[in-house]
Amino acid sequence: MVLAVEAKRLSVGYEELEELLWAVREASFEVGEGEAFCIVGESGSGKSTVASAIAGILPPHAVTDGELRIWGKLVVKGNERSYEGVRGRLVTYVPQSPGASLNPYLEIGDQFYHVLNNLYGLNRREALEKARAYLKMAGLEPDAVLDRYPHELSGGMQQRAAIALSLSTGAKILVADEPTSSLDAHLRLQIVELLKRLRVEAGLTLIFITHDMLLAGALSERIAVMYAGYLVELGPAREVLRKPLHPYTSMLIESVPVLGIKRPLKTYAGEPPGPGKLGKGCPFYDRCPFRLGVCAAETPPAKEVGESHHVACWLY
Amino acid sequence: MSRAGSTDLAVELREVSAGYFVAEGLKALRRKYVEVLRGVSLRVDGGERVAVIGESGSGKTTLLKVVLGLLQPMRGDVVVLGHRIYDIPERERWKVTRRIGYVPQDPFRALNPRLKVADIITEPLSRLHLPEDEKEERVRAAVKMVQLHESVLNHYPSRLSGGMMQRVLIARAVVHEPELLLLDEPTSALDVSTQAQVINLLNGIQERLKCAMVTVTHDLAVAQYLADRAVILYKGVVVEEGPLDEIVRNPKSEHARVLVASYTLGVSNPPIPASFV
């Protein structure tokens, strides 16, 4: 299997007020070609930072360490980053809020033209032809969309247009950062269905960022769970949902309200620590009901427990 | 604390239509009336937990504004805690609305950044003419009720996390022991684990105060935990009403069916965690 993404001890931090705050710490994972891979976590877990690192849109003041490869091409090595020929061409990105990311002053057709002209030098006619094909693929009627401004479209249509725009570059890795969180419940389902279909039709490798464990289970083959910048659990979606190993993963699963199933919502007191607020030891130490003496002193390393199921926890 | 009249009607809306005047044209010379609620009828008994469910633009927040006495409807009757609230002159309306607790939608924007948490939570008590020490006592009790540490009282909101801000908003809404608690999307800005904490917290408070609780949300699964009865709003019209469990099991209106179906995530065999069975 060819690896679409390969991260080795990848760390990403941001410099703020002369202080370096690590948002992602030594994450190692691989995503195979054509795979659907979900990164699950709450705000501040570092999941969006991983997405930005893969998509090549880390801000200039970000500091990196470790290695990241996209289709075998080294894009991050230590604090050196080079996404030339990768960003947009191999990997593309669907942002969280489509209304805020489409250019409000350009008609949808023109946005396609700008992207395709910049990347491949297509002329207007060629670009619009391509736009039609991708808009249709995303379930939109091209004639109803091409000469509209983003504000003239509904939220669901904006998100579809943004997805079509991302795919039109021909990139085979799609990084989607919470593409459904700003949408109403029934639109959420439509967008998830769309991504599942596009993955098959366009042969995409899908990297999906979400805070919703059950959505991750419905969409992906493998799930990575992040907490406070650490990758705490990684495994096949079914395994992670059925037999979560890390206490944080079980809490995430059991704190989600599920329609039609009424059970007490499990919570552990406290909230995820902010960036840079971590001391020694396990990041989940303060909230963990099963903590041991060793948890306070040392950060647990990732261990393989069961087939391709990894967890970073001293309980195992 | 028990209330003598807890079975009384907390809210009754009869055929309420309400909307906004929107400026039209380049120089905003004309104003156009856009109707948001169209003939909405709704009853909430004292001590009852009701959810108003709808997607963006369905009129959920407008409905709360009408109940709060902030938006005079074009037509229909609004009775809140036994008073026809729009028959009372605007300056006197606080005598009714002070018996309401309200948690607005976005915790990040709903707290005055220039006030300390203690002052924010004290505000609803300002018209109750209580002695200072009793006010302080009540504020401390409210902070305890929302499971915050007393030290946050001296902080400004900017130092708090989203979950803590939401707790401060809830403390402000319950410090005066309201008979009616209105919640506008109380968890949509929160992470899942914080959301579960806030849900459990709100139910604990409702049980203690025995107040009527109206939750506005677009999330049917969250509503399941915060309400027994639901009203489904679609484009300003009530399309379905009834016990929430019944609606989930057997939705009758087309829109409710779409809502319920959207939670199965379109997979025939979703991996259900072992702990659910």
pLDDT, tens digit (0-9, with 9 covering 90-100), for A42-88? 888 899 999 999 999 999 989 999 999 999 999 999 999 999 989 98
pLDDT tens column, B86-132: 999 999 999 999 999 999 988 888 899 999 999 999 999 988 888 99
Q: Do B271 and A193 touch (CB under 8 A)?
A: no
- Would you say residue A260 has pLDDT above 90? no
ipTM over 0.85: no
Query: Which tokens sit at B101?
Result: 């607790």
- Would you say residue A311 has pLDDT above 70? yes
CB B238 within 8 A of CB B232: yes
Give the residue among A243, A216, A251, A246 at the shortest CA–CA distance from A233: A246
Give the gap in angstroms from C-alpha B9 to the nearest C-alpha of chain A.
28
CB A301 within 8 A of CB A314: no
- Mean pLDDT score of chain A: 90
Q: Do B273 and A268 touch (CB under 8 A)?
A: no
The verdict on A238 touching B (C-beta cutoff 8 Å) is yes
Give the residue among B109, B229, B102 at the shortest CA–CA distance from B158: B109
Q: Do A257 and B200 touch (CB under 8 A)?
A: no
- Would you say residue A178 has pLDDT above 80? yes
- Would you say residue B266 has pLDDT above 50? no
Give the gap in angstroms from C-alpha B182 to the nearest C-alpha of chain A.
21
CA distances in angstroms from A82 to A73, A86, A94, B223, listed in the order given: 10, 9, 21, 47
The verdict on A79 touching B (C-beta cutoff 8 Å) is no
Q: Do B193 and A250 touch (CB under 8 A)?
A: no
Q: Which chain A residues contact residue B189 at CB under 8 A?
A: none
Q: Rounded to an integer, what distance in angstroms lies between the CA atom of residue A131 and that of residue A123?
A: 12
DSSP state of B252: -
Give the residue among A12, A2, A9 at the shortest CA–CA distance from A229: A12
The verdict on B202 touching A (C-beta cutoff 8 Å) is no
CB A25 within 8 A of CB A66: no
The label of the residue with tokens 């708090």 reads B160
Burial class (CB in 10 A: 0-12, 13-18, 19+), A128: middle
The verdict on A188 touching B (C-beta cutoff 8 Å) is yes
Helix (H, G, I), strand (E, B) or coil at B198: helix
Q: Where are the beta strands (DSSP E) in chain A?
A: 3-16, 19-32, 36-40, 62-70, 73-77, 80-81, 91-94, 173-177, 205-210, 222-227, 230-236, 303-304, 310-311
Interface of A with B in 7-66 (CB under 8 A): 42-43
- Residue B135 identity (one-letter amino acid): K
Q: B9-24 and B30-45 as β-strands: parallel, antiparallel, unpaired?
A: antiparallel
The verdict on B248 touching A (C-beta cutoff 8 Å) is yes
Give the gap in angstroms from C-alpha A210 to the nearest C-alpha of chain B.
11
| Torsion sign, CA atoms A293, A297, A302, A304 | negative
